[in-house]
Chains A and B, each alone.
Chain A
Amino acid sequence: GESVGLHLPTLSVQEGDNSIINCAYSNSASDYFIWYKQESGKGPQFIIDIRSNMDKRQGQRVTVLLNKTVKHLSLQIAATQPGDSAVYFCAENMRGSGSGSARQLTFGSGTQLTVLP
């Protein structure tokens, strides 16, 4: 099956610095990607998404970049805050093998972001 991978399992940054979390994917036909944040004891929380017809998308303090040539995407968090400490997942929102337009998420293994005071 297709896989979505993350470059680093852990990332530590100083409060106020920018964070960059990377993700690689293998399916060149993938057209929709989502970044989720998961805090301890909670379900994944939607951060930002991007479709393959875009190279960049910005949200509040977050930016996702998509490089289809090398099948790589990244999540940039500006001015990282203690509340940003969590595990971050990239997910490929792909059409499954079932009927209709059903999609399923294929997740990477996650990057643990720790914000240092």
Chain B
Amino acid sequence: KAGVTQTPRYLIKTRGQQVTLSCSPISGHRSVSWYQQTPGQGLQFLFEYFSETQRNKGNFPGRFSGRQFSNSRSEMNVSTLELGDSALYLCASSGGNQETQYFGPGTRLLVL
């Protein structure tokens, strides 16, 4: 079974721009979570989607948003990028009765 995939793997943007990242979960998994990883703050939870509904949200500003499609694929969007948004953005999926989250390789975003 294929793992979690994320696109693109690397991205360079400038301040003020917006960006959309994509995540395809493991086949059959309906829950998708997003995390931000930075050297200073570590791994932090952004939000979680299940059946196209956001069920849980971390402590991030409204510039960070997401959505999930009927095929469980998910996107996250960051608007009005700031330098501090430079990070590795990780997507994780889980499914069925298992709550274990399996991570993708991440998208490394650099904001200049």
Q: Are the C-beta atoms of A106 and B45 separated by less than 8 Å? A: yes
The residues of A that contact B31 with a CB separation of less than 8 Å are 102
> Which stretch in A20-28, A76-84, A93-101 binds the other chain?
A93-101
The residues of A that contact B53 with a CB separation of less than 8 Å are 99
Report A106 CB to chain B, min CB distance, Å.
Answer: 7
| In the complex, chain B residues 23-62 whose Cβ is within 8 Å of any chain A Cβ | 31, 33, 35, 42-45, 48, 50, 53-58
Is A107 in contact with chain B by the CB < 8 A criterion?
yes
The 8 Å CB contact of B43, one of A89, A100, A103, is A89
Q: Which size class do B's interface residues fall under?
A: 20 to 34
Report B28 CB to chain A, min CB distance, Å.
Answer: 16
Q: Which size class do A's interface residues fall under?
A: 20 to 34
Interface string of B98-112 (1 = CB under 8 A from A): 011111111000000
Q: Are the C-beta atoms of A107 and B42 separated by less than 8 Å? A: yes
Given the complex of chains A and B, what is the CA–CA distance between A91 and B45 in angstroms?
A: 11
Is B21 in contact with chain A by the CB < 8 A criterion?
no
Q: List 17 A-B residue pairs with CB atoms under 8 Å apart, sorted by A's residue number.
A: A34-B101, A36-B103, A43-B104, A43-B105, A43-B106, A44-B103, A46-B100, A89-B43, A93-B99, A93-B100, A93-B101, A96-B55, A98-B55, A99-B56, A103-B48, A105-B33, A107-B44
Which residues of A line the B interface, CB within 8 A? 32, 34, 36, 41-46, 49, 89, 91, 93, 96-100, 102-110
